[in-house]
């Protein structure tokens, strides 16, 4: 069945360093959604990518959709302690989202 | 955020108990979802409802029984669960069933422990 992979599984960074998580699939992805889940919290929608090669920015967060629509990335510039959490990508397929396993980010102050 | 609420927030039950999880959305959405989140596993979709009709059932054991009496409420009835069913159960809603252009709003979850 469909599988969405994410790497790395965990990332520890010093506050102020950059962070990138990658979302990959062996098949062409229709749309990609990104969510963030703080420790003890619930997933919160960040963004959706639809077009091949699309790049979207939200303050220090940059989201990219690969040209072949088989991968996506989330890059955070100059991490802050408020960025701590698990970042999930998910492929949307009409009535469902197939989520990746997530990348857990910890930020050392 | 109070758009999607879930009760109870924590639940401990024995394997022979029967309990129910409740989800309510105050967003006027038409689709609702149950997910299971276990440690070290991706979010697993369990059930999808659109306008009170079940549209997806991802091979979930019959000991989990969903109910959607109206578009604002969703229940998950639990009976004779196993310890491996211990997890965070998340409810979500979206404006429309088509997630190609709709985001999901998640509730805070119910942390379930089965003894």
Q: What's the pLDDT score for residue A22?
A: 97
Instruction: Give chain B positions within 8 Å (CB) of A41.
Output: 108
The low-confidence residues of chain B, meaning pLDDT below 50, are none
Instruction: Give chain A positions within 8 Å (CB) of B98.
Output: 94-95
Report residue A103 as tokens: 């990348």
B39 exposure class (CB count in 10 Å sphere: 0-12, 13-18, 19+)? exposed
Across the A:B interface, residue pairs with CB atoms under 8 Å apart total 59
Q: What's the pLDDT score for residue B108?
A: 97
Report residue B98 as tokens: 């088509």
d(CA A15, CA A37): 19
The answer to whether B42 contacts A99, with C-beta atoms less than 8 Å apart, is: yes
Convert the pLDDT of each residue in A60-72 to its tens digit: 999 999 999 999 9
Strands A103-108 and A10-14: parallel
Q: What's the pLDDT score for residue B98?
A: 87
Give whole-number Cα distances, A103 to A5, A22, A88, B92, in Å.
Answer: 10, 9, 7, 21
Give whole-number Cα distances, A29 to A32, A72, A90, A97, B34, in Å.
Answer: 7, 9, 9, 11, 23
Site of tokens 């805070």? B108
Share of chain A above pLDDT 70, in %: 98
Q: How near does any CA of chain B get to the CA of A100, in Å?
A: 6
The answer to whether B90 contacts A42, with C-beta atoms less than 8 Å apart, is: yes
Selection from A73, A97, A68, A96 nearest residue A6 by Cα = A73
CB A19 within 8 A of CB A105: yes
Q: What's the pLDDT score for residue A1?
A: 59
For residue B66, give the H/E element and its range.
strand B64-70
Q: What's the pLDDT score for residue B27?
A: 96
The answer to whether A42 contacts B107, with C-beta atoms less than 8 Å apart, is: yes
d(CA A82, CA A85): 8
Report the SS3 class of residue B85: helix
């Amino acid at each position: 069945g469909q599988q969405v992979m994410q790497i790395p599984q965990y990332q520890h960074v010093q506050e102020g360093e950059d962070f990138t998580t990658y979302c990959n699939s062996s098949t062409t992805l229709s749309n990609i959604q990104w969510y963030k889940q703080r420790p003890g919290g619930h997933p919160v929608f960040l963004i959706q990518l639809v077009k091949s090669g699309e790049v979207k920015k939200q303050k220090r967060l940059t989201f990219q959709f690969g040209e072949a629509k088989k991968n996506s990335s989330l890059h955070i510039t100059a991490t802050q302690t408020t960025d701590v959490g698990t970042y999930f990508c998910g492929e949307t397929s009409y009535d469902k989202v197939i989520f990746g396993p997530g990348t857990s980010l910890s930020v050392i102050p | 955020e109070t758009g999607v609420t879930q009760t109870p927030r924590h639940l401990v039950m024995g394997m022979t108990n029967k309990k129910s999880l409740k989800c309510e959305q105050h967003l006027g959405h038409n689709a609702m979802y149950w997910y299971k989140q276990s440690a070290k596993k991706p979010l697993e979709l369990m059930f999808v409802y659109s306008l009170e009709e079940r549209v997806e059932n991802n091979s979930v054991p019959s000991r989990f029984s969903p109910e959607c009496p109206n578009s604002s409420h969703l229940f998950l009835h639990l009976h004779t669960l196993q310890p491996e069913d211990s997890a965070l159960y998340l409810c979500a809603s979206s404006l429309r069933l088509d997630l190609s252009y709709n985001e999901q709003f998640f509730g805070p979850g119910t942390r379930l422990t089965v003894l």
